A and B are shown apart, each in its own frame.
With several copies, the nearest count.
Chain A
């Protein structure tokens, strides 16, 4: 249910993992590579992961969702390697009996991915490249582990 892969992600495949008779709703989040961020043109992206730990952390997010929304089932696949504009970087699928929970749990998942999953993004622009990080301005050892940071 929680996978890091260097291959293109198929939305259908991740979705199918969570479809089940008890569920009436699936919400997917699909993160794609956007061309412009704050006016700056991205040419491509590279994602690097610490795969063993990343999959553990994805599972942890699924467990957290289970605690908050006991009827939810979650599947997450994140891609690594070089990605072009519009390529899919991540697919999160959450199924629930009723739709409201699926939206909430799904949004929780993407917030948490950006906090605790060891995956890094390198942006390639026309005039350079840079590893992106610390967007959330975490101060790791002052607030305890990022697992304790609650999503905004």
Chain B
């Protein structure tokens, strides 16, 4: 199982801090497609972080990884 942290409007929209997927390994692109299908999430502007680093679409996510969805940031 892969646990995906959600922040800001995604946390409010999905109603959860963490989304859990059944898969054990998938690419970032697949993960976003999966989330787009399951939730009414606009994935266009989303980044995915793996172990606190921005990941590329072809990077792979496995069960041991810390995964998070990063909407456009607005700090500062």
Contacts and interface: CB of A to CB of B under 8 A. Distances in A.
Interface of A: 31, 47-50, 52-54, 56, 78, 89-90, 110, 113-122, 131-136, 138-141, 144-147
Contacts of A115: 73
B72 to A, nearest CB: 4
Contacts of B70: 50, 53, 118
A125 to B, nearest CB: 15
Contacts of A146: 47, 54
Contacts, number: 100
A48 B54 CA distance: 18
Contacts of B47: 140-141, 145-146
A52 B75 contact: no
B8 A133 contact: yes
A80 to B, nearest CB: 9
Contacts of B72: 133-136, 138, 140
A115 B70 CA distance: 12
B1 to A, nearest CB: 20
Contact of A53 (B12, B49, B56, B76): B49
A120 B10 CA distance: 11
Contacts of B45: 133-134, 138-140
Interface string B58-76: 0000000010101111111
Given A118-B49, A118-B70, A50 B7 contact: yes
User: Interface SS of chain B: helix, strand, loop or mixed?
Assistant: loop
User: Interface SS of chain A: helix, strand, loop or mixed?
Assistant: mixed
Contact of A56 (B9, B52, B55, B57): B52
Given A50-B49, A52-B52, A140-B45, A117 B75 contact: yes
A31 B57 CA distance: 33
A139 to B, nearest CB: 8
Given A120-B7, A120-B8, A133 B73 contact: yes
A36 to B, nearest CB: 18
Contacts of B74: 114, 119-121, 131-133, 135
A110 B56 contact: no
